[in-house]
Amino acid sequence: MRPVVTTPADPSLAELAPDQRLRRLELTVTRRLNGLLHGQYRGLLPGPGSEPAGSREYRPGEDEVRRMDWAVTARTAVPHVRQVDADRELTTWLLVDASASMEFGTAELDKRELAVAAVAAIGFLTAGVGNRLGAQVLRADGVRRFPARSGRTHLLGLLRALLAAPRASGPGDRPGRRPSVEPPELADGLDALHRVANRRGLVVVVSDFLDGLPDDPDQPPPWERTLRRLAARHQVLAVEVTDPRELELPDVGLITLVDPETGRHREVCTSDRRLRERYAEAAAAQRDQVHRALRRSAATHLALRTDRDWSADIVRHVHAQRRLAAAPAGAARGGAA
């Protein structure tokens, strides 16, 4: 008989040491994403740019009225629209949610790890000469601020800080215990970001967007107003991070559910089919509430799940955004309708 040789399974991202995780993330972005997302000035939100580049005559049916150059139109008595060039220096501001609700995960990654992967993709894809990256991290012990700087060393330092961010419950803590320090809210982080993001650029919010979500689905969440103000000046990308167990419950008998933000416990019997159905319906309504708030805020929405290939989801998102950016204005409006 020949001996059976077994090769060790490839460790998951969560099982690797911090430096190994950063190396794995960098290789994934530079080899896989860069290989599929061609172009010197890559981005998760391709757009027309914001640098002024003169004016030209208005083309009915092709140009948007909001791009009218009224000064040139008044001087020449002929309708003109503003032309812009793509920005060559991009400032990206990140707001990363590292609160207790982001510590949940039942797949290869938890939501916190997936948030780090999203930040790595954004950082490496927007890196370039003159481009800068700044961040604010909402942690269980307060807000950690990173000034806008350029360079790979700065990005790796931000990613290491995200991986080392303290958890709301340590290994020796009682599960669900309320934190001694009141954690910052998403709305407060957006307000602080709005104060520092003075130059027009890219704003990326990585969160599950469950913070402060009202029970009444017709009421806006507290973070929607500031997110809308940011979208009026910047390109805003909302990266929504979810886990499959937040959307449906498996049939595994009696379990104890713990709210990581409040510490409340509740025992439920998942063998009850009707209970599982009500849970799935409530979870779907909650996610729909988040999606409608993001849509009202005019933010571009990128959904990532812990049980899916996050790099493939990012590739699909970028390609979809590029198709929208390349489509004529009339076709885009017709498709949105």
* Size of the chain in residues: 337
Give mean pLDDT, residues 201-218.
92
DSSP state at residue 262: T
- The most distant pair of C-alpha atoms in the chain lies apart, rounded to whole Å, by 92
Q: 241-258: per-residue pLDDT in tens?
A: 999 999 999 888 888 888
Q: Give the model's pLDDT for residue 279.
A: 93
Inform me whether the pLDDT recorded for 134 exceeds 80. yes
Q: Which residue has the higher pLDDT, 127 or 1?
A: 127
Q: 79-107: per-residue pLDDT in tens?
A: 888 766 455 578 899 999 998 889 888 88
Give mean pLDDT, residues 219-228.
95
Cα gap 204→45, rounded to integer Å: 10
Least confident range from 110-114, 179-183, 186-190, 203-207: namely 179-183
Q: Which residue has the higher pLDDT, 152 or 294?
A: 294
- What residue segments make up the domains of the chain, in order of their start? 56-85, 91-169+177-330
Cα gap 230→224, rounded to integer Å: 10
User: Which residues are within 8 A (CB) of 311 and not within 5 positions of it... i.e. 6 or more apart?
Assistant: 28, 29, 32, 33, 121
Q: Which two tokens stand for residue 179?
A: 């934190």
DSSP state at residue 159: H
Q: Which CATH number fits domain 91-169+177-330: 3.40.50.2300, 3.40.50.300, 3.30.930.10, 3.40.50.410?
A: 3.40.50.410
Q: Give the model's pLDDT for residue 30.
A: 75
Nearest-CA neighbor of 158 among 169, 149, 166, 170? 149
Inform me whether the pLDDT recorded for 26 exceeds 50. yes
Cα gap 252→254, rounded to integer Å: 7
Give mean pLDDT, residues 151-156.
90
Give mean pLDDT, residues 108-137.
89
- Cβ atoms < 10 Å from Cβ of 296: 14
Q: Which H or E element spans position 202?
A: strand 202-207
Nearest-CA neighbor of 194 among 230, 221, 248? 230
Q: 171-195: per-residue pLDDT in tens?
A: 444 444 555 567 789 999 999 999 9
Average pLDDT score over the chain? 81
